[in-house]
Amino acid sequence: MTGVTPDDVRRRHFGTAPFGHHGYHPGQVDAFCARIADTMSGRDHLSAADIRLVEFDGPPSGHRGYDIDQVDEFLDRICMDLEYLRRGHPLIAPVRQEDPLTHDDVLRVRFSAPPFGLSGYAAEEVGAFLDRLAATLAHDGPNGLTAEDVRSTAFHTASPGTAAYHREEVDAFLDLVAHQLAKTTS
């Protein structure tokens, strides 16, 4: 696995949106990536929620913007890495598009407990999902998870006193997995 550095984020280039699509405003995406790099360097304080909820305008009139899928995938990966860096955990997911998530990566996944006072997903259910995902990535077969399976995955809220995982971390991971599985089947 390869972690991303602030310089990697600043230098990240995105392709243009396909013909017929407007895409994201390049200046806004570049400025937001600069803020992410500053956050990684300790000069800004974006949270994973800030990254997940960011919205970009379309490009200036007469121009094509950045490819929406490329930007969204990158932000999903960065969101996850940023959460783990913020919590002092090692990175668990690759950030470059050339580095797909592997069976071994899934076996090393560790999610944080939810923030104090907030509920989280039931750890037992998330663990069962990770087992199924690891099997899918290890054996490409008819019984594996699909991108649609991942998108429709819903976990119950953990009961008080039981193990729980941070919702934003799990959601970012699901976004990453769904996007990867969609790419492998298209």
Tens digits of residue pLDDT in 126-147: 999 988 888 888 876 556 788 8
Average pLDDT, the chain: 82
From the CB of residue 110, how many other CB atoms can be counted at a distance below 10 Å?
Answer: 11
Closest CA to 78 of 59, 58, 65, 93: 93
Q: Please give the Cα distance from 61 to 143 (Å, whole number).
A: 46
Which residues partner with 81 through β-bridges? none
Checking if the pLDDT of 91 tops 60, the result is no
pTM, rounded to two decimals: 0.54
From the CB of residue 71, how many other CB atoms can be counted at a distance below 10 Å?
Answer: 23
Checking if the pLDDT of 39 tops 90, the result is no
Question: Sign (positive/negative) of CA torsion 148, 151, 156, 160?
Answer: positive
Q: Coil, helix or strand for 164?
A: strand
Q: Which stretch, 11-15, 19-23, 105-109, 112-116, has highest mean pLDDT?
A: 11-15
- At what angle are helices 26-40 and 68-86 packed, to 10 degrees? 10
**pLDDT at site 31:** 95
Mean pLDDT lowest among 67-81, 101-115, 119-133: 101-115
